[in-house]
Amino acid sequence: MKREKNNNAVEKTGGKALIIEARFYTEIADKLADGAARVLEAAGMTVERASVPGCLEIPAALQFAAESGQYDAFVVLGCVVRGETRHFDIVCDESNRGVYAVTLANGLALGNGILTVDTMEQALERADVNQLDKGGDAARAAVTMLGLKRRWAA
């Protein structure tokens, strides 16, 4: 079944966004970050990027950045490809658990673009801005959540 990417327009929010990207699969990380940056810039946001070695390091980096108070929105990006051991399950579960614990504890506007896939082919399709553009989807989610946060803070 062929899926189509989300082409939803993004609201002009302005502000400063941080993309935290796991660099374990560099080609996937680059594609995800490209899609996310395009959407955030279209929303009028200043974009910074921070790299971590893998998805398990994302929650700690997110916490450090949240504590800095420098950012209005966050996008987390990475890729976990199923292997032959339980490591896939641990990385998927713990990175996502950590991301949402930090998000809820700090009231963050966040978009999650951590891919959890069975094959590299699936990862490439999801990361490519000309295919499913999951980095762009995560950035759209962050922009939407920032709009809601600002609406309810007013």
Q: How many domains does the chain divide into? A: 1
* Catalytic-role residue among 12, 16, 87, 97: 87
**CB of 139 within 8 A of CB of 34?**
no
Could you tell me the residue range of the domain that residue 136 belongs to? 16-153
Please give the single-letter amino acid code of residue 102. V
CATH code of 28's domain = 3.40.50.960
In a domain, 129, yes or no: yes
Three-state helix/strand/coil letters over the chain: CCCCCCCCCCCCCCCEEEEEEECCCHHHHHHHHHHHHHHHHHCCCEEEEEEECCHHHHHHHHHHHHHHCCCCEEEEEEEEECCCCCHHHHHHHHHHHHHHHHHHHHCCCEEEEEEEECCHHHHHHHHCCCCCCHHHHHHHHHHHHHHHHHHHHC
Distance between CA atoms of residues 111 and 146, nearest Å: 10
pLDDT of amino acid 7: 57
pLDDT of amino acid 77: 98
In a domain, 10, yes or no: no
In a domain, 86, yes or no: yes
In a domain, 4, yes or no: no
In a domain, 8, yes or no: no
One pLDDT digit (tens) per residue for the chain, 154 residues: 455 555 567 889 899 999 999 999 999 999 999 999 999 999 999 999 999 999 999 999 999 999 999 999 999 999 999 998 899 999 999 999 999 999 999 999 999 999 999 999 999 999 999 999 999 999 999 999 999 999 999 7
In a domain, 137, yes or no: yes
Active site residue 87: yes
In a domain, 6, yes or no: no
Q: Which residues contact 26 (CB under 8 A, 6 or more apart)?
A: none
- In this structure, what is the dihedral angle of CA atoms 118, 124, 126, 128, given to the nearest 10 degrees? 180
pLDDT of amino acid 50: 98
Other C-beta atoms closer than 10 Å to the C-beta of 131 total 16
